[in-house]
Amino acid sequence: MDKSDSPESGAAAAATTGTDKSTDKSTAAPPPMQRAPAGTFKANTSAARQTSSSCQTLAVMLGLLWLITLVLTFVLLILVMFFVLQRERGAR
């Protein structure tokens, strides 16, 4: 049986070949981040700010719409109750 055929040959070969962990690709530190071209960051920030602003505006509009709907519902409920009570009084 040849040494290369044994199941332990991979681990033994790695141990005997002297592979250093610092040069191993799986444990090496990632490369440093590359610098973006001038103006790229500013454009992305502006686009992000614009999206955030439009989302915030939409949220405020939806909140106001919900509040107006709530107020109108209560006003309508009060008017209906008032007219129902008036009709009950007139029937007596």
pTM: 0.42
Most confident of 9-18, 33-42, 82-91: 82-91
* Percent share of the chain, pLDDT over 90: 32
The conformational region for residue 19 under phi > 0 = left, psi -120 to 50 = alpha, else beta, is: beta
* Percent share of the chain, pLDDT over 70: 50
Does the structure show a pLDDT above 90 at 77? yes
Phi first, then psi: give them for residue 33, nearest 5 degrees: -65, 140
User: How deeply is 17 buried, as exposed, middle or buried, from its count of CB atoms within 10 A (0-12, 13-18, 19+)?
Assistant: exposed
Q: What is the mean pLDDT of residues 84-92?
A: 83
**Average pLDDT taken over every residue of the chain:** 75
